[in-house]
Structure 1
Amino acid sequence: MIIQIKGNVKYPITLDPSVWIFDDRKVKLEEAFNDTPPSNEEKIDSNSKLNKPPVNNSIKKYNKKELLENSYVMPIKEFIENAELNDNATEANLIMKENSERVSKEQLINSYMLFSIDGKQINDQGPAYLYFGDGSNQNNPIKGIKVIEII
C-alpha cells in the first residue's frame, strides 16, 4: 500500500502513508480546510523546524487515544518538493487501478492526502485519498491512487 511519485521529476520517491501517523506534519481532517490561520506560537514553531522534518515528535504530543479516534491528512507539498519537479512540469496524472485523472501542478502541490479515518489505515481504495487544498472535492476525494506521474 504505497504511492509512487515519478515521471518528470529529478528524484522519484515512494510514499508510505502507513507511517504518517507518527509524523508531526499531519493535520486533523476537520482542521485542514479551516480558514483559521495558525496561532503565533505555531508559526514560530514551524519556522524553527525548517529543513528538519518533524517526524516522531507526535508520540510525545498526542495521547494514544487521540491518534486512534481522529482522521488525519498529510499536506503533500513537501513530498513533491523533495521529488524536485523539473522546470517544465505542468500537470500530474493520478493513476488508479482502473482509471486516471489529471490535475494541475498547483492543485497537486496544495493538496492533502487523507491517510487515517477514525484512527485506522485506509484499506478500501487506499492507502490515501487526495483532497484539493481549496476543499473543492471534500465530498468526492480522489481515491485509490497508486502512482502520481508528473507530466
Structure 2
Amino acid sequence: MENIILIKGKVKFPITLDPTVWIFDDRKLDLDTYFDQQETEINELEEYTKSISKHWDREIIEGAQLPTTNKTKKKFIKEELTTGSFGIRFQPFLNNAEPFNDATVVIIESADQEYSLPIEEAKNIILGFSANGKPLMEDGPAHVYLNKDSKSQPIKRIRGFRVE
C-alpha cells in the first residue's frame, strides 16, 4: 500500500495511482532534459504537415527505401529506460478525477507535511517516479515538481492528493 497514491476529496471519481507502472506510459517525460527545455506551444497539425512534407521530398529525391530493422532502436530504448529519470504530468489524472466546481485547492499530502496549491497551479505539477532507471523506493513512491524551476527541491514521500 506504500506505493499507491490517492486523489480524493471534492472529486467525482476518486483515483488510485500506481507510479510503478508509469514507465510503460507513453506520456512519460525525461526529467534529465525536461527542466532544461524551453516551454513552447506546439501546433500538432503544423508539425505533422512538416514531417509528411519532409518524407515526401525525401521519397522524390532518393526514391523509396526498404524498411530497416528496429533492433538498435529497441536496444537504445531499453538502455534509456534502465538508466533515465522519468516523470509524468499530473493534469490528466486530476482531469479524470473531475473536481467539483466548488473545489479550489489541491492539498499535496506527503509523509512529512501537507502543501496547498490552487487547482490551476496543481495542473502544472510533474510527478517524478524514476531516478537513474530505478523506482523511488526510499523517498517515493513519487516526487512532486511544482514547476520548471523546482527541479532541485521536489516534494518527496508523496502519499496522496486531496482536492478541497
1:66 aligns with 80
**Number of residue equivalences:** 136
4+ runs deviating over 4 angstroms: 38-44
The 1-side partners of 2:8 and 2:104 are apart by 14
TM-score by length of 2: 0.75
Larger Rg: 2
More helix by share: 2
Shift of the 42–17 alpha-carbon distance from structure 1 to 2, 3 Å rule, reads: farther
Over the matched positions of the two proteins, sequence identity in percent amounts to: 37
| Structure 1 gap ranges (5+) | 45-59
Matches for 1:32-111 after TM superposition, within 5 Å:
32-33=34-35, 34-35=37-38, 37=40, 44=48, 63-111=77-125
Shift of the 42–129 alpha-carbon distance from structure 1 to 2, 3 Å rule, reads: farther
1:140 aligns with 153
Q: Quick check: 136-145 or 81-90, which moved more?
A: 136-145
1:47 aligns with none
TM-score by length of 1: 0.81
| Structure 2 gap ranges (5+) | 49-73
* Partner-residue secondary structure (3-state), 2:139: coil
The 2-side partners of 1:124 and 1:42 are apart by 43
Shift of the 10–40 alpha-carbon distance from structure 1 to 2, 3 Å rule, reads: closer
**Residue deviations 1:42-83, cap 9 Å, x none?**
964xxxxxxxxxxxxxxx696211100100010111000000
